[in-house]
């Protein structure tokens, strides 16, 4: 076999055999295929796609490039989100599902760009560690039913290398490649039940709902073909999820929901995702599972799961009862309405880019985010604000001049001036 023949076949939309895909992934991972040739194949995939059988073979080859997580636990579940602005659902769904009797074993990554990673959020809790051994991970799961650890260097090394090349060559936006990247990692973590939350909208990979639905359907079929109980749902990421964006701020909002102090769209989505996970795991019909999810939060059981998990992962569990123990920004700025206005929309991508200016994200994998930085959005579409009311509040310990931030943040808001009857 040789890579030139493989590139030419994909360029001409001729299907590759499983053996060709296995050889290519193995050779590239081991350094036998140079970046420029792999990049040529990835571009051919972006232009011509892959068949479903090719996508499954690619997923398996990437999964088998490294270790597979083997836990001494009868059944585990996982909820995966394709990510977006303010997405802290794992911090709520995981404890709630565990409080209902499931074992939620999750391996997550750090954020790159303006989308925050679950690991970054958790590590804003003082002392909490996510670099746990498999034995420690298993011990926590058997004790609380919920744990999140950082991705292993030996898990799907092919995906790590291929994704870095995709990011550098403009070949990220391919549904087969996105599917293989996500599903290879999910299959390597080896959960028995897998719920996939596929986002669409301005703050998501998939800008169009149709594309998100195609990706969701493909990932669900790949998961089922691999022998997993798998379900994909498509959810909206045109508006930020919840009010808070930024690592410690998102932990704060998640805790407010687990403490029973806050509801709204984020709470509704989290209880729905928890119910879907419970139903997938055979805990009952949907309506009954939805009630179980709501009760797990209202009873305080989900909060107790999170508290005990934080402690077992070395974190300061007092944060569950005292939110002031989270990192606090040294600087803040309120963006206020200059006239009476109706909020028409809040653009997720622009909010994400604004949070990046504050230091909440990272431009390269070596950047260290400001855990205290972020945005609290003080309004939502449909709200009527009077002149002087706060639109959003910026927080940062590394930024003190909020001029550019305020301009970018205002650009994220589409509103109608009530006095003039115009929209911006």
207 is catalytic: no
Q: Are 131 and 79 in contact (CB under 8 A)?
A: no
Instruction: Say which of 78, 87, 120, 159 is annotated catalytic.
Output: 159
Instruction: Say which of 65, 147, 181, 348 is annotated catalytic.
Output: 181
Instruction: Say which of 63, 166, 186, 199 is annotated catalytic.
Output: 166
166 is catalytic: yes
Rg, C-alpha atoms of the chain = 22
DSSP strand pairing (374-377 vs 390-396): antiparallel
Q: Are 200 and 212 in contact (CB under 8 A)?
A: yes
Instruction: Say which of 63, 79, 80, 228 is annotated catalytic.
Output: 80
Distance in angstroms (rounded) separating the CA atoms of residues 199 and 84? 7
Instruction: Say which of 63, 106, 185, 308 is annotated catalytic.
Output: 185
80 is catalytic: yes
- Edge-to-edge strand list for the sheet holding 193-200: 146-150, 104-108, 77-81, 193-200, 229-236
DSSP strand pairing (146-150 vs 244-245): unpaired
316 is catalytic: no
185 is catalytic: yes
- Positions annotated as catalytic residues are 80, 159, 166, 181, 185
């Amino acid at each position: 076999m040789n890579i030139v023949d493989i590139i030419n076949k994909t360029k001409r939309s001729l299907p590759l055999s499983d053996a060709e895909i296995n050889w290519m992934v193995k050779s590239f991972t081991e350094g036998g295929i140079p970046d420029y040739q792999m990049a040529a194949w990835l571009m051919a995939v972006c232009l011509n796609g892959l068949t479903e059988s090719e996508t499954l073979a690619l997923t398996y080859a990437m999964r088998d490039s490294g270790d597979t997580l083997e836990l001494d636990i009868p059944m585990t579940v996982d909820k995966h989100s394709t990510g977006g602005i303010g997405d802290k659902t794992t911090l709520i769904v995981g404890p709630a599902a565990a409080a209902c009797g499931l074992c939620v074993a999750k391996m997550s990554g750090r954020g790159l760009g303006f989308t925050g990673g679950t690991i970054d959020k958790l590590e804003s809790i003082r002392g909490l560690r996510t670099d746990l051994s498999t034995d420690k991970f298993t011990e926590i799961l058997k004790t609380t039913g919920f744990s999140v650890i950082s991705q292993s260097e030996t898990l799907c090394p092919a995906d790590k290398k291929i994704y870095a090349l995709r990011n550098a060559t403009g070949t990220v936006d391919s549904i087969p490649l996105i599917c293989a990247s996500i599903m290879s990692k999910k299959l390597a973590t080896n959960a028995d039940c897998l719920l996939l939350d596929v986002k669409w909208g301005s703050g998501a990979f998939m800008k169009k709902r149709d594309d998100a639905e195609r990706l969701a359907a493909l990932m669900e079929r790949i998961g089922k073909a691999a022998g997993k109980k798998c379900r994909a749902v498509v959810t909206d990421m045109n508006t930020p999820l919840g009010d808070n964006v930024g690592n410690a701020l998102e932990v704060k909002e998640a805790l407010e929901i687990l403490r029973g102090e806050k509801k709204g769209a984020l709470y509704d989505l989290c209880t729905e995702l928890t119910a879907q996970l419970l139903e997938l795991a055979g805990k009952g019909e949907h309506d009954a599972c939805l009630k179980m999810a709501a009760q797990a939060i209202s009873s305080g059981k989900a909060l107790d799961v999170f508290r005990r998990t934080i402690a077992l992962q070395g974190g300061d569990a007092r944060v569950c009862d005292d939110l002031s123990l989270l990192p606090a920004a040294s600087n803040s700025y309120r963006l206020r309405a200059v006239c009476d206005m109706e909020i028409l929309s809040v653009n997720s991508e622009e909010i994400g880019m604004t949070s990046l200016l504050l230091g909440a994200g990272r431009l390269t994998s070596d950047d260290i985010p400001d855990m205290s930085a972020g945005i609290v959005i003080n309004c939502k579409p449909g709200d009527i604000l009077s002149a002087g009311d706060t639109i959003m509040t910026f927080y940062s310990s590394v930024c003190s001049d909020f001029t550019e931030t305020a301009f970018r943040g205002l650009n994220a808001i589409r509103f109608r001036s009530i006095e003039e009857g115009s929209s911006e």
